[in-house]
Amino acid sequence: MRTASERRIPSLDGLRAISIGLVLVSHLAGTRNFPLSAAQGNFWALGEFGVVVFFVISGFLITGLLLDEIGSTGGVDLSRFYLRRTLRIFPPYYAFLICLTLAAASGAVSLPSGDVFSAMTYTANYKLDRSWFVGHTWSLSVEEQFYLLWPAVLLLARTRRAILIAAAVVLVAPFVRVAEWELLRQYGDGVGHRFETIADAIAIGCVLAGTRSWLHGTAWYPRLLASPAFIMVPFAAVAGNLLHDHPLVNFALGMSITHVCIALCLDWAVTFHDGRIGRVLNARPLVFIGWLSYSLYLWQQPFLNRGSDSLVAAFPQNILIVALLAMMSYYLVERPSLALRRRIERALPGDHPRTSRYFSAPPVLNTTTVSDDLMSPR
C-alpha cells in the first residue's frame, strides 16, 4: 500500500475506476450471456470515452509532476523521469505480452504477423490490421509517444511556451483529423488512434495542469465550476462522444467538445473532492479499482471478446478471469516493480539539479502536487 507520506490528488483514482468500468462494459457488450448487445455498446462508444478520460488524466498528472519538479529544482532530471516511467509501465505490459506470445505459440490464440512487434515497440496505433488481442495497445502506444515527446517540449520550449504549444495542439488537432479523413481515406480507420489525431486529449490535460492556478485565481472560473449549470458539462461530454458515427462532425467538433468537457469535469472533481460526489470517488472500493485499472486494462482484452465462442470469453466467467489476472498482475508485478523503483531512487543522488543531468527552466505557471504512483497509462 502507499505510504502516508506520498502525496495524492483526490478523486483521480475514482475517475480512473469509472473509466476502466466504461471500457469493461463496452467490451463486455456482445459477449455471450451479457445483457447488452454489441450494437448497444457501440452506440454509446463507452470504451472510447473511458480511454479519453485516461488520456486527459495522464496529461494532467505528468505535466503536474514535471512542473512540480521544475518549480522545486529549476529543471527536470530526465533520467529519473524515464526510470520512473519505465518501472511503472514496462513490467506489467511486457509480462502481458510475454503471456500472449506464449498463448499464440501454443495455438490458444492467433496473432497476425507484426502484432507482437508493433505492441512491443509502442507503434500499434499506426498498425490498422492489428488483431483484437492487441487491439487495446493503440492507446498505450499513444501514452508512450507522449512520454517521449512532452518532457523535451516542456524543457526546450520553456514552460510558458510549452503550455501554449499544448493549447495549439488542442486547436489544431481537429483540422488534422479532418484532413487525414478527407485526404487519406484509405487510412481513415486510424483517425482518432494515430498520435497526431488524438494528442489533443492529452494536451488538454497538460493545459489544465499548466493554467489551473491562474484559472482558479480569476473571478469567472471558480463561479463556473460552482454553478448549478455546470451539470451541463458532463452531459456535453457525453453528447460530443455520441457523434462518433458521424465522422466529419465528430473529428471537427465532437471529439474536441468531449476532451474539453472531460478536463473541466476532472478539475471539478479535484476541486470539490469533499462533496457528495467527491466522497464517492474517494471511497476505498473505487480507489482500489483505480489502483488496479492498468492491469485490468491490460488483461481484459483477450477475454472480453465478443467474436469468440470460447467458454472463457463468456459472461460472467470472462470478467472473473480478468479480475483474477489483474490482481495477480498488480500484486506479483506492479507492486514489486514499484518497490524496486523506490529502492533504486533512494540509491540515486539527491533531487538538487546538476549541470550534466538537468535542463534549466524559468519559473512555472503552476505547480501541482501529485504522487507518481497514481499514474495509470491508458
**For residue range 136-148, what is the model confidence (pLDDT) as tens digits?**
999 999 999 999 9
The answer, yes or no, to whether residue 377 has pLDDT greater than 80, is no
Confidence bin at 352 (pLDDT 50/70/90): very low
In the chain, the percentage of residues whose pLDDT exceeds 70 is: 90
- Residues 296-348: tens digit of each pLDDT: 999 999 999 999 999 999 999 999 999 999 999 999 999 999 999 999 988 88
Q: Count Cβ atoms within 10 A of the Cβ of residue 324 and give its class: 0-12 exposed, 13-18 middle, 19 or more buried.
A: exposed
How many residues make up the chain in this entry?
378
User: Can you give the pTM of this predicted structure?
Assistant: 0.91
Average pLDDT over residues 365-375: 39
User: How far is 93 from 122, CA to CA, in rounded Å?
Assistant: 11
In the chain, the percentage of residues whose pLDDT exceeds 90 is: 79
Average pLDDT over residues 187-216: 96
Question: Cβ(171)–Cβ(374) under 8 Å?
Answer: no
- Residues 258-309: tens digit of each pLDDT: 999 999 999 999 999 999 999 999 999 999 999 999 999 999 999 999 999 9
pLDDT value of position 341? 92
pLDDT value of position 76? 83
Average pLDDT over residues 9-19: 95
- Residues 108-152: tens digit of each pLDDT: 999 988 999 999 999 999 999 999 999 999 999 999 999 999 999
Range with the poorest average pLDDT among 102-106, 187-191, 250-254: 187-191
Q: 349 in helix, strand or coil?
A: coil
pLDDT value of position 264? 98
User: How far is 195 from 255, CA to CA, in rounded Å?
Assistant: 14
pLDDT value of position 358? 33
96-128 burial, b at 16+ Cβ within 10 Å, e below that, comes to bbeebbeebeeeebebeeebbebbbebbbbbbe
Q: List the one residue out of 30, 12, 52, 1 whose CA is nearest residue 370.
A: 12
